[in-house]
Amino acid sequence: MGRRAAKVAEKKAKGEAAKSKIYSRYGKKIAGAIKTGGSDPLNNMELASLIKEAKAAGVPKDNIDRLLKKADDAPDYTEVIYEVYGHGGVGMLVTCLTDNTNRAASVVKAAVKKAGGKDASPGSVSFQFTKMAKIEIPEDRAADLDEDKVFEIALESSVDDIDIRPAPLRPDIENNEDGSTPVPPKWVLTTPNSLKALRDALEANGIEGSTSLAHIPNALVDCSEEELEKNLGLIDALEDIDDVDMVEHNISFA
């Protein structure tokens, strides 16, 4: 396999892994919503919202239908967040959706230790982040997003705490096949209490994206090239764990 072919194969593999992680995330969340409120989206608003989010995140309809049919047989999942120190003063929050918290803790700790990170006590990393609601506008619509229109819609909906920013792009991300730099998704951030009002108002104006709660860093940490490489390796190792839903951090990619 030539160098170019190897890069294409690696990029494809990373893309497939990312999609698999998204499908797994919504599979666990949909199963939990059905166990709590039943399988009829008309009578289960949480389930209806998750189905809409899954579609916006690119989960195929067939996958969603299979999830709805099999949800009753799925195990119960618990969300747990582990706090981690990376390299060069970086903090990380590792969110797991797991049916076995002891297993999740064990594999996360092992991955952190192997990659040279350190476990952190509860609160020692999380205070560096603020919990926000996030509406993620995907790459194919992010470039054309009218940010002024979004702010206008927010104000009309009495949502005055709002921020719009591009999602951080890792420095090791591959360029597009034509050599251009990938366009990152756009994040529309607000307070958790304002999420529904803002999401509904944006959707009424044809602006849709996947929604979630996110931990946004209060300040970013600059790393040396060596520290950055080690931190990216730690993130990759954590994201490879089945129980891990997401890894949030305060690394500056500037």
Q: What pairs with residue 80 in β-bridges? A: 96
Q: Can you give the pTM of this predicted structure?
A: 0.85
Residue 160 and residue 51 share a domain = no
pLDDT tens across 153-172, in order?
999 999 999 999 999 988 88
Residue 212 and residue 139 share a domain = yes
Residue 146 and residue 44 share a domain = no
Residue 50 and residue 157 share a domain = no
pLDDT at site 15? 67
What's the domain count of the chain?
Answer: 2
Asked whether the beta carbons of 216 and 249 are under 8 A apart, the reply is: no
Where do we find the tokens 């399988």? 39
Where do we find the tokens 């609601």? 133
Res. 76 pLDDT band, cuts 50 70 90: confident
pLDDT at site 14? 66
Cα 103 to chain centroid, rounded: 22
Q: Is the pLDDT reported for residue 7 higher than 70?
A: no
Question: Which H helix or E strand runs over 45?
Answer: helix 45-56
Asked whether the beta carbons of 37 and 68 are under 8 A apart, the reply is: no
Q: Is the pLDDT reported for residue 146 higher than 60?
A: yes
Where do we find the tokens 């160098």? 3
pLDDT at site 9? 57
Res. 186 pLDDT band, cuts 50 70 90: very high
Residue 56 and residue 94 share a domain = no
Domain end marker among 53, 73, 93: 73
Residue 216 and residue 119 share a domain = yes
Instruction: For residue 214, give Cα distances in angstroms to 21, 22, 62, 126.
Output: 16, 15, 28, 12
DSSP string covering 137-202, please?
Answer: EPHHHHTT--HHHHHHHHHHTT---EEEEEPPPPTTPPPPTTSPPPPPPEEEEE-GGGHHHHHHHH
Residue 165 and residue 54 share a domain = no
Cα four-point dihedral sign 117, 123, 129, 133: positive
Residue 250 and residue 142 share a domain = yes
pLDDT at site 128? 98
Strand ranges of the sheet holding 210-217, from the earlier edge strand across to the other edge: 162-166, 186-190, 129-137, 210-217
Instruction: For residue 138, give Cα distances in angstroms to 47, 130, 176.
Output: 22, 23, 16
Domain of 122, CATH number, reads 3.30.70.980
Residue 160 and residue 249 share a domain = yes
Q: Is the pLDDT reported for residue 10 higher than 90?
A: no
Across residues 130-141, what is the average pLDDT?
93
Compute the half-sphere exposure of residue 79: CA atoms within 13 Å on the CB side of its CA: 10
Domain of 52, CATH number, reads 1.10.10.200
The closest alpha carbon to 54, from 45, 67, 69, 44, belongs to 67
Cα gap 30→51, rounded to integer Å: 8
Q: Is the pLDDT reported for residue 228 higher than 90?
A: yes
Query: Domain range for residue 69?
Result: 3-73
Q: What is the dihedral of CA 65, 69, 71, 74, to 10 degrees?
A: -120
Bigger pLDDT: 71 vs 141: 141
